[in-house]
Structure 1
Amino acid sequence: MPPRRSHKKSRAGCRRCKARKIKCDEVHPRCGNCTKHGVACDFEHPGITDVLSPAETPRPTTSASSGDSPSTSTLPPTPSVDSSTPLPIYRNPEPLPLTSNTKSSRMMELKLLHHYTTITCETLAISSPVSERIWRDTVPNLAFTGAHFLADALLAVSALHLRYNAPQDQELVRASHAYMASTLSEYSASLSKGINESNAEALFLTASLIAFQSTASRIFTRDDGGDVKDRSDGYVLPLSWFHSFQGVKAVVASSWQWLRNSGIVIPIIESQPALNLDLSGQNATFFGHLMNGVEEEIAALDDNPEGQILTRQAYQHAVAVLDWAHKIPHTGAPLVFLATVSRRFVELLEARRPRALAILASYFGLLKCLDGVWWLKGVARREVMGIVSLFDPDDEEWWSRLQWPIRIALYEGDVIPPDVWGADWVAETALLHQGSQNGSFVSHIELLSQMFSTMQSMPPPNLASAMPDVMDVIAHQNALVRSRTFERHPFLDDHTHDPF
């Protein structure tokens, strides 16, 4: 056996390399590893080491049995930002500054802010001029008043949008990652301190931008060292989409007493088409076949009566949202699915239940109608075919139920005819009018908020586990900040704790 090659230990390496237990080349002002990953190095910024330490904490280990659910672990708290320190929007984002060149950093921020207010803001809302104006004018003004995490979120999303048109621009890659890291850190710290009247609007808007970034980031996974396919398990489900969008739901439910009178939040919510769901299960629906055999499945796989109830309701509700969105897809209705499905449904996805996967495939099929939106381009084809790869081709029971999303995802053409889609779009206006008569989206949130308040006051055990808990949102956001995979991309880790 050849002798082991000797090596010189790095005793004066940077904090990040020491935390990751890798050799540091000790190059100043930024070591080679930090330069490679486009992250801050304490050689360059000595005062930032204490803030960087949470991002260096290894992520929780995942369960060997499922590969999706994390094991329980205790993590250190996310550091808060000193509220007495003035932090204008034109600043190096913390905890990950872009560069030591102050002028270069300021020019980058000016570039990002200009792009956001002229172009990116128009892509955050679908078919809603009112929401576009709010995202363009009102939201930046709110960020200027001291909501630093909101300001960083705007810049992060703008950098991601610019990167879409210039995918090889490493400055934009670093900017997108750095500003979102700063957003998550300060946002989580603010949530930890509590939601109140003064920060409710900013927290809602930031949660929405985090969800947007999570969704849009999926198109860059290959460039960032990740992939929609895992080397061992094959296709990786985009569970981070659900985590982040349901985070928005948790913030809304927890702060509705202040948001219900907001001149910023209410118009954004009201721009969404009203939920008009048929939860009876008695009427024939387009996706009703996805519920065939559900009782037998529940009886065979769920021993706990409470779990059986939650599973049945999770499937019924998810299919009802699909049926509703299928009739009015061009309004952006399919995006509501991510925020409205229950915590139990996400758990079923994590367990890779065939029924949940088939429902998810149909959901991504709906997104084909939004393929012209830059952050959704190619999503339907990529995700549907990825989900299909998880099924056995000889599985006759489920293969037939996947035919619609496959046909839609592979359809070539800018407009899908009604006979292929399966719904008459001529009636879209009438359906929207009917939905507005049956109650606005705000009325559904009022109901959610009331249920949330009631369940939070119940002693365990109860069904409150099906509702969002804002403290779980904090834990999830902190996990994102701490994860070492954030150095590759802020939303590559689909195995973090599901907050709902």
Structure 2
Amino acid sequence: MAPTCPETVRGSRPMTRSRFGCRNCKLRKVKCDESKPRCKRCASFGVICNFRLDVLDLQPVTRDPAMYAFQVVRQGVLQPPPSSSVWTTDGSNFYQLNSKCQEFVTRYLGRSLITPDDPRMVQVNRRLLALAFANPFLMHASLAVAFAYDRHLSRSSGCRPSVEECYHWSQSTALFNRRLNKLIETKDKDPIWGTAAALAVLSFSTPDAITPEKSWPLKPSEPTDLEWLRMNTSKMSLWRIADPLRPDSLFRVMATTFAQMNSPLPEKGICDMLIPLAQVCSLEDSSTTENNPYFKAAHAVSQIQRLPNRQVTVGQTEVFTRSIHGPFKSLLQRKDPIALLLMYLWYRKAGRSIWWIELRARVECPSIFSYLRLYHRGYTTVHAFLPGGALAAWIEENP
């Protein structure tokens, strides 16, 4: 209740209150200028002015995703978020971003961490950022990826995920699973696909060990080996639900990337293959998927090996990961030397252009190299491709 007599300050005039001011100013006990639709006090404080009865008291502007998206991408330039209170909420779950998360929103999430030079992907990322303020599971996933990217920039081979990265990853997973158990509407499809993609990136970029000596394949075999494949498969299982290529999807601009992911490999022979690689995999003109388990993986590695590093795209790298199934996956799980070599060559090439692949490659590449030297020292055709081997320089220079 307002006092019967206004307080005075020594040496100053008594403070007056407006009769028709907004409720926010009355709650904060400040004078409202009564300008509509938004008074200056609310604008400076970062809350939605509530002259209208349907606006909550002291509701942060950032709880309105459209308003914050406008602030963030105004004129195509990322704007610093308000320093007071930045929220993501879907009405039942909410999270208030701390100063570090706000910094990461400004530094990373308004641009594309996947292909920084592609203006289409920058727009995809900014539209996803706007959706993240209405979908906490997407915001947590986005922040976790930003922390993972920060880990990549550290260039340390033994960099553990930070507490913040683990927290946001965990929160996103829990909220995402909860969301998938509810009715999915059209407006939910883009946030769902964006979150699934982010969780797949997090799974791949976080190997089980931080040193090669304790990493796959040097460590003893476990049922969880190649667990990142399961996450990638789970992401693709949501394709029909999210339908990223539907006309109103913000991911429709990525049609070329999706087409590359699903591009068919040759059905037979060694056309366009690197000949030394075909030889080590025992591939010839009559080879097919049915009679040679290395067939698809070797073709996928050859395809990206022929490209300059800057031209290797996410879609092209996923051609190899999609070949890891059936007999070839079993060979990898059994640590077959040729299968390990193909994985090694893929890591070396793909990791130079895709940062989350590089994060795993930092640990597993040297682990594969040490495993092959330790347990398959006499396999000279395999070692020819490894550092110090006769074909190592040729592979580095190709094309």
Q: Deviations over 1:402-434 (max 9, x none)?
A: 4325369x98xxxx8xx553643xxxxxxxxxx
* Counterpart check, 1:332 vs 2:312: yes
Match of 1:255 in 2: 241
**Larger RCO of the pair (alpha carbons < 8 Å, separation 6+):** 1
SS of 1:199's equivalent in the other structure is helix
Match of 2:78 in 1: none
Equivalent residues, number: 297
8 Å contact kept, 2:289–2:296: no
Q: Residues 297 and 342 of structure 2 are in contact (CA less than 8 Å); yes or no, is this contact kept in structure 1?
A: yes
Q: What is the match of residue 347 of structure 2?
A: 364
In 1, Cα distance between the equivalents of 2:233 and 2:395?
A: 31
Matched, 1:406 2:387: yes
Instruction: State percent identity of aligned pairs.
Output: 14
| Aligned twin of 2:233 | 246
1:387 aligns with 2:387: no
Aligned equivalents of 2:244, 2:152: Cα separation in 1: 36
Deviations 1:349-372 (A, max 9, x none): 2232333222212212323543xx
Equivalent in 148, 164, 168 of residue 136 of structure 2:
148
| Letter in structure 2 aligned against 1:325 | I
Report what 1:281 is aligned to: 269
> Which residue of the other structure, out of 303, 323, 328, is the alignment partner of 1:341?
323
Counterpart-to-counterpart distance in 2, 1:375 and 1:174: 18
Q: 1:242 & 1:129 partners in 2: Cα distance?
A: 29
Aligned CA RMSD, in angstroms, stands at: 4.3
Residue in structure 1 matched with residue 254 of structure 2 by the alignment = 268
Cα distance, 1:340 vs structure 2: 2.1
Given the alignment, which residue of 113, 117, 137 partners 1:123?
A: 113
Q: What CA distance in whole angstroms lies between the structure 2 residues aligned with 1:374 and 1:279?
A: 31
Equivalent residue in structure 2 for 1:174, among 147, 163, 172: 163
Aligned equivalents of 2:320 and 2:283: distance in 1?
24
Q: Contact 1:276–1:324 (CA<8 Å) still a contact in 2?
A: no
Quote the offset at 1:176 in angstroms. Answer: 0.7
Q: How far apart are the structure 2 equivalents of 1:404 and 1:249?
A: 33
Q: CA deviation at 1:180?
A: 0.3
> Could you tell me how far 1:378 is from its partner in structure 2?
7.1
Distance 1:249 1:313 in 2: 26
Scaled by the length of structure 2, the TM-score of the pair is 0.60
After TM superposition, the structure 1 = structure 2 runs for residues 311-326 of structure 1, keeping only pairs within 5 Å, are 312=291, 315-326=294-305
TM-score normalised per structure 1: 0.49
Letter of the 2:143 counterpart: L
Partner of 2:30: none
Q: Deviations over 1:126-152 (max 9, x none)?
A: 6533112311x111112223x221111
CA contact (8 A) 1:364 1:380 kept: yes
CA displacement, residues 111-166 of structure 1 (integer Å, 9 cap, x when unaligned):
23223235xx432226533112311x111112223x22111101111223334557
Q: How does 1:206-245 map onto structure 2 within 5 Å?
A: 206-218=195-207, 221-222=209-210, 227-228=214-215, 233=220, 239-245=226-232
**In the alignment, is the contact (CA less than 8 A) between 1:201 and 1:264 conserved in 2?**
yes
Alignment check: 8 A CA contact 2:217 2:368 kept: no
Contact 2:205 2:359 in 1 (8 A): no
Secondary structure class of the residue paired with 1:404: coil
- Counterpart of 2:101 (choices 100, 109, 112) is 109
Gaps of 5+ in 1: 1-82, 92-105, 295-308, 425-500
Once residues 149 and 363 of structure 1 are traced to their aligned partners in structure 2, the CA distance between those partners, rounded to angstroms, is 32
1:377/1:236 CA distance change after superposition, 3 Å: farther
Matches of residues 19-168 of structure 1 in structure 2 within 5 Å? Answer: 85-90=91-96, 106-118=98-110, 121-125=111-115, 127-135=117-125, 137-145=126-134, 147-164=135-152
CA distance in 1, matches of 2:147, 2:325: 31
Distance 1:241 1:354 in 2: 20
Q: Residues 115 and 369 from structure 1, CA distance in 2 versus in 1: closer, same or farther, beyond 3 angstroms?
A: closer
- The structure in which a higher percent of residues are helix is 1
